[in-house]
Structure 1
Amino acid sequence: MSYLTPPEFATKMVDAGEAKIKMSTRDTLIRAFMAGAMLAMAAAFAVTITVQTGQPLAGAILFPVGFCMLYLLGFDLLTGVFTLAPLALIDRRPGVRFRSVLRNWGLVFVGNFAGAFMVAAMMAVIATTGFSTVPDDVGQQLGTIGESRTVGYAEHGGAGMLTLFIRGVLCNWMVSTGVVAAMMSTSVSGKVLGMWMPVMLFFYMGFEHSIVNMFLFPAGLLLGGDFSVGDYLLWNEIPTVVGNLVGGLTFVGLVLYATHVRSGGSSTKAPLQEDVRVPLTR
């Protein structure tokens, strides 16, 4: 069967976390770079669809194509390693240390940002015909997104920061569920279906994804968005990264590990035997 049981795919999660931690610096950066670039392309695709159709749902339905492609190609997102890498540490896999988890996170962050920024620069060139014209409709939309999701949060102070954090938590709850759902199946179609649903949900709901934002906000700055690099870092990227870490690790990684890898065991007691009376024979 193409479906794996929860204990089976939960063990695969720990194995995947160990493999990512022990991966060479070269491979980690290459895979993270390509993941950031492909997710950025998907975000640009979704924004373009939304602008052209006027239907945000259409963009959300088609956005997961980038996530599915990068996963099937074996590339790594920060949101995924936030969930998987710590499990290898918790499971006490040989050679896995806390500093090696931090190293993996740092390398993936750098690679994701570099890939997403490259696509942001390319899209800025396209939207302005090589910076020779004002931004087109898609470029103007990218600038507006950057403003509303940085300065827009800042206007509400602490309440805005809390909202941003919670949106980051909910985002990686869904995205990491997609990562795990792909492990439930051994068929490509099963993996794609499992990934598609939660990723579509997070995008349409407007939750905050740190790598998508590595594309949206630099693109917005390049296209004349009315916010600063400081606004982007303080009022989006940093709290989003923290929220993504909490959401993926708490509601996906630790929950599945606790109940399917380190299960508390069955609390069902064996049924009592019936009182069978054997008739006396004469």
Structure 2
Amino acid sequence: MSYVPPKELATRILDAGEAKVFMSTRDTLIRAFMAGALLGLAAAFAVTITVRTGEPLLGALLFPVGFCLLYLLGFDLLTGVFTLVPLALLDKRPGVTVGGMLRNWGLVFVGNFAGALTTALLMAIYFTYGFSVEPDAVAQQIGTIGEGRTLGYAEHGAAGMLTLFVRGVLCNWMVSTAVVGAMMSDSVPGKVIVMWMPILVFFYLGFEHSVVNMFLFPSGLLLGGDFTLGDYLVWNEIPTLLGNLVGGLSFVGLIIYATHARTAPARPRKVPAA
């Protein structure tokens, strides 16, 4: 599968983070838009499979198809740049600044949200024949997800907010593992295999992904979910964003950087006296 060892992987990660900082505004927005749109479609696909088969594992098994497609096409998710770009800053790559990092994050957020919202509107039209009929079982399930993952957390107060944040952390631990894992191979099958595994884990365990939620929650509002835009922002999107940032950077980016890009000197060998 053309395996790339960790030392070389670390260099590829740093190069990728640096490249994203200097990407043009146009290309950053286009790639982020398409990433959000494709991930939203994959989420709709997975929910449809789960509802129609009654088997959540099957939906989770097939959800990674969208993630693999968007990364093979070179599109960008906010969860990925949360991990990659700060490492280029930490490595003091020439011209990489805090302002450049924040610019990249902001543009990718806007693009992801616009893409996910576009897919949400298209799928709402698809589910309701242009809002002329009542939502079907799949659409009703999407609305229920929106309620359970906003008001459901709010019912638990501070404990709910902590749980939401932790689910965001765990999510981007897995998603960023998939992002950097794709660089571990130079073949398409190798990339897909490495990406598929952690994305399956995140989706089946119900972790919180900020870009997936950019599709699910606007969809829920369009399809009659009983929650508000404020509920979505306060009791999901904002804490999820923070959790995704902490999870991807702490458990993936900084770990790989510390041990593979800045490997500590080996301990001296002690040769027993003859």
Question: Shorter chain as normaliser: what TM range?
Answer: over 0.9
- TM-score with structure 1 setting the length: 0.96
Q: Which moved more, 1:198-207 or 1:258-267?
A: 258-267
What is residue 218 of structure 2 aligned with on the other side? 218
What is residue 272 of structure 1 aligned with on the other side? 271
What is residue 189 of structure 1 aligned with on the other side? 189
Structure 1: state its 5+ residue gaps: 276-282
CA distance, structure 1, for counterparts of residue 65 and residue 254 of structure 2: 27
Q: CA offsets per residue over residues 78-125 of structure 1, 9 Å max, x none?
A: 000000000000000000000100000000000000000000001111
What secondary structure, in the 3-state scheme, does the structure 1 residue paired with 2:129 have? Answer: coil
Question: Could you tell me which amino acid in structure 2 is paired with residue 226 of structure 1?
Answer: D
CA distance, structure 2, for counterparts of residue 273 and residue 165 of structure 1: 52
What is residue 78 of structure 1 aligned with on the other side? 78
What is residue 32 of structure 1 aligned with on the other side? 32
CA distance, structure 2, for counterparts of residue 73 and residue 139 of structure 1: 29
Q: CA offsets per residue over residues 146-166 of structure 1, 9 Å max, x none?
A: 000001100110000000000
What is residue 101 of structure 1 aligned with on the other side? 101
Deviation at 1:265, TM superposition (A): 1.7
What secondary structure, in the 3-state scheme, does the structure 2 residue paired with 1:11 have? Answer: helix
Deviation at 1:273, TM superposition (A): 6.1
Question: Could you tell me which amino acid in structure 1 is paired with residue 236 of structure 2?
Answer: N
CA distance, structure 1, for counterparts of residue 148 and residue 79 of structure 2: 23
- TM-score with structure 2 setting the length: 0.99
Deviation at 1:238, TM superposition (A): 0.2
Deviation at 1:39, TM superposition (A): 0.4
Deviation at 1:270, TM superposition (A): 2.5
What is residue 155 of structure 2 aligned with on the other side? 155
CA distance, structure 1, for counterparts of residue 215 and residue 80 of structure 2: 17
Q: CA offsets per residue over residues 23-58 of structure 1, 9 Å max, x none?
A: 000000000000000000100000000010000000
What is residue 114 of structure 1 aligned with on the other side? 114
Question: Could you tell me which amino acid in structure 2 is paired with residue 222 of structure 1?
Answer: L
Question: Could you tell me which amino acid in structure 2 is paired with residue 212 of structure 1?
Answer: V
Deviation at 1:271, TM superposition (A): 4.0
Question: Could you tell me which amino acid in structure 1 is paired with residue 82 of structure 2?
Answer: F
CA distance, structure 2, for counterparts of residue 163 and residue 263 of structure 1: 34
What is residue 166 of structure 1 aligned with on the other side? 166
CA distance, structure 2, for counterparts of residue 3 and residue 158 of structure 1: 44
What is residue 180 of structure 2 aligned with on the other side? 180
Q: CA offsets per residue over residues 4-26 of structure 1, 9 Å max, x none?
A: 11010011000000000110000
Q: CA offsets per residue over residues 174-197 of structure 1, 9 Å max, x none?
A: 000001111111110000000000
CA distance, structure 2, for counterparts of residue 66 and residue 149 of structure 1: 22
Question: Could you tell me which amino acid in structure 1 is paired with residue 160 of structure 2?
Answer: G
| Residues matched between the structures, number | 274
CA distance, structure 1, for counterparts of residue 8 and residue 211 of structure 2: 29
Deviation at 1:263, TM superposition (A): 1.1
CA distance, structure 2, for counterparts of residue 4 and residue 17 of structure 1: 18
What secondary structure, in the 3-state scheme, does the structure 1 residue paired with 2:100 have? Answer: helix
CA distance, structure 2, for counterparts of residue 181 and residue 104 of structure 1: 22
CA distance, structure 2, for counterparts of residue 71 and residue 274 of structure 1: 55
Deviation at 1:76, TM superposition (A): 0.2
Aligned-pair RMSD on alpha carbons? Answer: 0.8
What is residue 135 of structure 2 aligned with on the other side? 135
What secondary structure, in the 3-state scheme, does the structure 2 residue paired with 1:161 have? Answer: helix
What secondary structure, in the 3-state scheme, does the structure 1 residue paired with 2:41 have? Answer: helix
CA distance, structure 2, for counterparts of residue 136 and residue 37 of structure 1: 22
Deviation at 1:274, TM superposition (A): 4.9
Question: Could you tell me which amino acid in structure 1 is paired with residue 164 of structure 2?
Answer: L
What is residue 21 of structure 2 aligned with on the other side? 21
CA distance, structure 2, for counterparts of residue 164 and residue 272 of structure 1: 52
CA distance, structure 2, for counterparts of residue 47 and residue 38 of structure 1: 14
Tell which structure's C-alpha radius of gyration is larger.
1
Is 1:125 the equivalent of 2:157? no
